[in-house]
Amino acid sequence: MERAAKIIFYEDKNFLGKYFECSSDCSELSAHFSRCNSIRVESGTWVVYERSHFTGYQYVLIRGEYPNYHSWNGYSDTIRSCRAIRHSSNRHRLRIYERPDFSGQMMEVSEDLTNLQDRWRYREVHSAQVQDGVWVFHEHPNYRGRQYLLEKGEYRRHVDWGALHPSIGSVRRVTEV
């Protein structure tokens, strides 16, 4: 039986101050707290967003404690929406492409890559196809910088996964914890 996802948002650092417990997707969190300086993920995997309606910077959080917004690579104490990630498969397969619309050189990935350029000669990924699993693109190597969640489907251009530019430095599978 699958355990229900649960995340707790705290207004202050180190899990202090006003808090809000959430166990389902929420497109508008501002009614529950004004700022978010720490988060505890009790179960499931979550993506939290800087803006309402699942927009803005996104951060993928696995079960664990995040005592301040720097611990989830946040840029500020603003979190306005969240959703639980549904795992559809234990398998992970991703195809990345050199150019938009799945053209140019292609590479298939099935494991985490801390530095994409170790295996991919390009600094940019212009399109992608997630064939199995859920993935996170990171703007820089070593899982740093902006994060972009990619679920099963086709992404013809980098804007389709929410990026302002196509620079990808590392990729990681989202696995159940």
Per the rule left: phi > 0, alpha: psi between -120 and 50, beta: everything else, 53 is left
pTM given for the model: 0.84
The pLDDT of residue 1 is: 40
For the record, the structure tokens of 2 come out as 């699958």
d(CA 125, CA 135): 14
Q: Which residue segments constitute the domains of the chain, with CATH numbers given? A: 6-84 (2.60.20.10), 93-174 (2.60.20.10)
- One digit per residue, pLDDT tens: the chain, 177 residues? 456 899 999 999 999 999 999 999 999 999 999 999 999 999 999 999 999 999 989 999 999 999 999 999 898 999 999 999 986 567 999 999 999 999 999 999 999 999 999 999 998 999 999 999 999 999 999 999 999 999 999 999 999 999 999 999 999 999 865
